[in-house]
């Protein structure tokens, strides 16, 4: 029984890192629109829910997510999984993207983060994988399809600097949807964006991902 619980925790942690990497990849993909940016950045707090929908009609909630985004480009993402695990991810400009599981004594380095992606406007989403427009949280949303990833749809919000506020990831047996629940505009508190210090830095996840891609 203990081995089964531990395996489930490891699977959830791995799945969480996949979602984080997809989110980070979405940030990187937006750099293709570098020529579209002249207005100031938005600060906001976004609350979302991740659910898995199975072919047999059943569904389950995977996590609740809160994303704090600063006007300076730094961000902090908190995923609270139904199984009890909590994953904190931090994007710090000039330092990188880091993840911490529960109260672990180390930070996992996920990627570099040299500068915030450009502020995007609506015109930029009408090219490069544009699919359609929808309305979420009262905002006009541009749905796009990442290059070479037909099973994923990203819902980009121009009012939030082009941020991905919804994601649909379709697999053979299920579909995972990260759905926005609420957004509060304005700069988050400094404490909400603060990354813990004094922890050991681990490159294991980064090395595994890049080894797989080699």
Q: What is the pLDDT of residue 29?
A: 39
Q: What is the pLDDT of residue 5?
A: 45
Mean pLDDT of the chain: 82
CATH class of the domain at 2-213: mainly beta
pLDDT tens figures, 12-29 = 544 555 555 445 544 443
If one compares 16 and 138, the residue with the highest pLDDT of the two is 138
pLDDT tens figures, 79-120 = 999 999 999 999 999 999 999 999 888 999 999 999 887 776
Task: Tally the residues of the chain.
Answer: 214
pLDDT at 208 over 50: yes
Helix (H) or strand (E) holding 23: helix 2-29
pLDDT at 128 over 90: no
Note if the pTM is more than 0.85: no
Distance CA 211, CA 27 (A): 21
What is the residue extent of each domain of the chain? 2-213
Per the CB < 8 A criterion, the answer to whether 65 and 77 are in contact is yes
CA distances, 66 to each of 88, 89, 137, 192, 198 (Å): 10, 11, 15, 10, 24
Residue found under tokens 């983060």: 113
What percent of the chain has pLDDT above 70? 76
Task: Kindly provide the b/e burial profile for residues 133-154, where b requires at least 16 CB atoms within 10 angstroms of the residue's own CB.
Answer: eeeeeeeebbbbebeeeeebbb
Q: What is the pLDDT of residue 213?
A: 56
Average pLDDT over residues 168-184: 95
In DSSP notation, 184-200 reads: EESPPPGGGGPPP-SPE
Distance CA 69, CA 42 (A): 8
């Amino acid at each position: 029984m203990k081995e089964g619980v531990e395996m489930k925790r490891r699977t959830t942690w791995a799945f969480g890192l996949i979602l984080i990497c997809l989110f980070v990849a979405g940030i990187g993909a937006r750099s293709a629109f570098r020529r579209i940016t002249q207005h100031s950045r938005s600060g906001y707090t976004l609350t979302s829910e991740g659910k898995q929908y199975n072919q047999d009609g059943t569904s389950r909630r995977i996590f609740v997510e809160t994303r704090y985004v600063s006007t300076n480009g730094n961000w902090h993402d908190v995923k609270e999984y139904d199984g009890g695990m909590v994953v904190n991810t931090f994007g710090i400009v000039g330092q990188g993207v880091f993840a911490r599981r529960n109260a672990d004594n180390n930070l996992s380095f996920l990627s570099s983060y040299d500068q915030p992606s450009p502020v995007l406007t609506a015109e930029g989403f009408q090219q490069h994988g544009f699919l359609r427009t929808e309305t979420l949280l009262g905002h006009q949303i541009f749905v796009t399809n990442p290059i070479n990833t037909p099973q994923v749809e990203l819902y980009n919000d121009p009012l939030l600097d082009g941020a991905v506020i919804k994601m649909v990831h379709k697999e053979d047996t299920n579909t995972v949807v990260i759905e926005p629940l609420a957004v509060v505009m304005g700069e988050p508190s400094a404490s909400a964006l603060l990354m813990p210090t004094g922890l050991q830095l681990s490159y294991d996840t980064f090395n595994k991902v890049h080894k797989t891609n080699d």
